[in-house]
């Protein structure tokens, strides 16, 4: 199990693809924690009486949010305590670590001589591309965002389908 999280060895393209899918599986605890956080904060804002759940009026709650969305967001922000921050970070660490280790192993297979420099450059490009896409949008919203989203997709396709020339991968 330890070798899956280490930054050593190399992997082939199909293993890279499968490990990328498994990174999504490792993100499930994060999604669950976010859903629980939203449920807790919403139930506090809606003042739901769990002893008498029939008293909850969905329409009134929806109108309360629509009439003053800033108040709802403020209540959501007030619910965001250090417990939730730590829980979210802890739930993300395995998925991010596994994903970056997977990326490194595939870069190590494709570029044996300068793997560290290329890995650092690709990580920097990925961070920049994510920022551009999230900040400016993509598709009809932003041509530059679309360019970066397309570049990320091309890098992923290259990493999956390019032959590394290594006979036996050990990662």
pLDDT of residue 138: 77
In the block, tokens 């924690």 appear at 33
32-82 pLDDT per residue, tens: 999 999 888 888 777 777 777 777 777 877 888 888 888 888 888 888 889
Rounded to 5 degrees, φ, ψ at 48 are -75, 130
| Pairwise CA distance, residues 94 & 31, whole Å | 13
Question: Among 38-42, 131-135, 145-149, 165-169, which stretch is predicted with the lowest mean pLDDT?
Answer: 165-169
Q: Residue 125's pLDDT band (boundaries 50, 70, 90)? A: very high
Percentage of the chain beyond pLDDT 90 is 38
Residue 7 has pLDDT above 80, yes or no: no
Contact 66, 58 (CB under 8 A): no
Residue 162 has pLDDT above 60, yes or no: yes
Question: 3-class DSSP state for residue 101?
Answer: helix
In the block, tokens 């309360």 appear at 64
| Pairwise CA distance, residues 92 & 26, whole Å | 8
Q: Residue 158's pLDDT band (boundaries 50, 70, 90)? A: very high
The separation between CA 113 and the C-alpha centre of its own chain, rounded to angstroms, equals 30
In the block, tokens 């890098």 appear at 155
Beta strands in the chain (DSSP E): none
Q: Which of 61-65, 88-92, 164-168 has the highest mean pLDDT?
A: 88-92
């Amino acid at each position: 199990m330890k070798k899956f999280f280490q930054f050593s060895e190399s992997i082939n393209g199909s293993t890279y693809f499968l490990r990328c899918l498994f990174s999504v599986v490792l993100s499930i605890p994060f999604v669950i924690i976010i859903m629980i956080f939203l449920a807790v904060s919403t139930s506090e804002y809606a003042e739901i009486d769990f002893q008498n759940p029939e008293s909850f009026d969905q329409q009134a709650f929806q109108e309360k949010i629509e009439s003053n969305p800033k108040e709802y967001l403020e209540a959501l922000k007030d619910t965001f305590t250090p417990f939730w921050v730590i829980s979210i970070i802890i739930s993300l660490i395995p998925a991010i670590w596994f994903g970056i280790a997977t990326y490194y192993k595939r870069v190590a297979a494709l570029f044996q001589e300068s793997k560290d420099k290329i890995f650092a450059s690709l990580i920097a490009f990925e961070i920049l591309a994510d920022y551009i896409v999230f900040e400016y949008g993509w598709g009809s919203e932003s041509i530059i965002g679309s360019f970066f989203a397309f570049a990320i997709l091309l890098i992923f396709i290259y990493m999956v389908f390019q032959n590394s020339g290594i006979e036996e991968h050990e990662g």
